[in-house]
Amino acid sequence: MRRTLLSVIGLVMVSIPRRIVETAETVAFENPEDAILRGWTVPMARLEGIGFLLLIRRTGFLSGVVGVVFGLVGSAAAVVPRQYLDFGLSLAYENPNDITVKSWVIPVTRVLGIIALVLTVVSLRSEGDD
């Protein structure tokens, strides 16, 4: 069931990345109309979906190097959410300094980072038990 749900999420990411990005902008930015996407942002979002699908096809998809990288990214989001967000905005947008995120975005970024870190630790620990 979990793998099916994750597969659907991955397929949506591959199928409609622009709509997902636009929706995220509307939800997270005070001024979404000012955000200027870099040309490669939407194709990279699609590639992210493909990578997500490939990972969930594997058993223990948070194992090995992938798990460590996921944990490191989660750690960054948990410990320094503002800097993590600023870095992501600078990668995805031509004008990151003109974008104002809503007040709830930073705390949610921290929580998502903590969740990613916990999932990684649990996954790596259960892998070690096998």
Q: How far is the C-alpha of 32 from the C-alpha of 120, rounded, in Å?
A: 32
Pick from 37-46, 51-60, 66-75: least confident: 51-60
Residue 37 φ/ψ, nearest 5 degrees: -70, 145
**Domain residue ranges in the chain:** 2-129
CA atoms within 13 A on the CB side of 118: 7
- Which two three-digit tokens encode residue 70? 């996921």
Which residue has tokens 């995220």? 24
Cα gap 35→26, rounded to integer Å: 10
Task: Please say if the pLDDT value at position 87 is more than 70.
Answer: yes
Identify any residues that bridge with 29 across adjacent strands, giving them in sequence order. 101
pLDDT of 24 strictly over 70: yes
Q: pTM of the full predicted structure?
A: 0.82
d(C-alpha 86, C-alpha 89), whole Å: 5
